Amino acid sequence: MKLIQTFDYAELSQQAAEQIISRIKRKPSLNLGLATGSTPTGLYQELIKDHQQNKTSYKQINTFNLDEYIGIPKKDSHSYHYFMCEKLFKHIDIPLDQTHIPDGTARLLDEECTRYEQFIQEHGGIDLQILGIGQNGHIGFNEPGTSFDSRTHIIDLAESTRKANSRFFASVDDVPLQAITMGIASIMDSKEIFLLVSGHAKAEALARLINGDVSEDFPASVLKKHPNVSIFADKEATALL
């Protein structure tokens, strides 16, 4: 794992964006794995700015999101479909039918998991996956205890995750109990991974990732077994290293 330390969140977002843009220049039909949460929003703003100023094009890109809440309609402002449209897709030239997110409203959820997993593989797999990290070490929505062999699956959200994400909802009771997420093995299939870590609240998680053991109790630790991971972390996040 390569650690790229930045001064602050703005620099983290800029550096990650620069690297993504260079990958797109090298391969205009890049398969790009995307994440939600607060951490990548600065990166998405940088990609939008670059698209407007330098005309980097996403016309041949396919995107694959990590996860989606179960039971929230796509048009609902709490869905990750809505989040991605607002924060990125509607501001760049990507055709919407090339943006892929698991369907948390599918009638047959197990079939949706299998479909999404196969769909990524049929597209040739993910070239570059963007990840955030939960305070409990979750990646995507793979909570502690998830098997490293897992593929796209349904997960019961940890109470701590529901609390952390309640800031986006009226109350914690409104946060869905379950989500559909790419599995750990699905994420590990990506050719390259960028992990973004920002702020004091993530310092403990980053220290455990760097200094701790590889264990299913701390899902992000699996990244130590991947040959091509870059961690972009700001000063606050690296405070305990």
Q: Which residues are tagged catalytic?
A: 67, 136, 138, 143
Residue 75's H or E segment, with its range, is none
**Residue 139: DSSP 8-state:** B
Contacts of residue 9, defined as CB under 8 A and 6 or more positions apart, other chains included, come to 42, 198, 199, 234
CB 9 within 8 A of CB 45: no
How far is Cα 38 from Cα 156, in angstroms, rounded to an integer? 21
**Local structure of 231: helix, strand or coil:** strand
Answer yes or no whether residue 134 interacts with ligand GLP by CB under 6 A: yes
Residue nearest to ligand GLP (CB): 132
Q: Is 150 in the site for ligand GLP (CB under 6 A)?
A: no
DSSP, collapsed to helix, strand or coil, labels residue 63 as strand
Contact between 234 and ligand GLP (CB under 6 A)?
no
Strand partners, 233: 5, 197
d(CA 4, CA 8): 12
Applying CB under 6 A, which of residues 35, 120, 126, 231 lies at the interface with ligand GLP? 35
Our finding on whether 6 is near ligand GLP (CB under 6 A) is no
Query: Considering the rule CB under 6 A, would residue 129 count as an interface residue with ligand GLP?
Result: no
Check residue 63 for interaction with ligand GLP (CB under 6 A). no
Interface pattern 174-203 for ligand GLP (x via CB under 6 A): ------------------------------
- The DSSP call for residue 107 is S
Tell me whether residue 67 or residue 117 sits nearer to ligand GLP (CB atom): 67
Please identify which residue in 27, 28, 38, 228 interacts with ligand GLP, judged by CB under 6 A. 38
Element (H, E) at 211: helix 203-211
Residue 88 φ/ψ region, left for φ over 0, alpha for ψ in the -120 to 50 degree band, beta for the rest: alpha
Q: How far is the CB of 188 from ligand GLP (least distance, A)?
A: 15
Binding mask 68-107 for ligand GLP (x = CB under 6 A): ----------------------------------------
Contacts with ligand GLP in 39-58 (CB under 6 A)?
A: 39
Piece in contact with ligand GLP (CB under 6 A), picked from 23-31, 104-112, 133-141, 225-233: 133-141
Of the residues 42, 102, 140, 183, which one makes contact with ligand GLP according to CB under 6 A: 140
* Residue whose pair of structure tokens reads 């796209």 in the numeric block: 152
| Three-state SS at 3 | strand
Q: Which residues bind ligand GLP (CB under 6 A)?
A: 35-39, 66-67, 132-134, 140-141, 161, 165
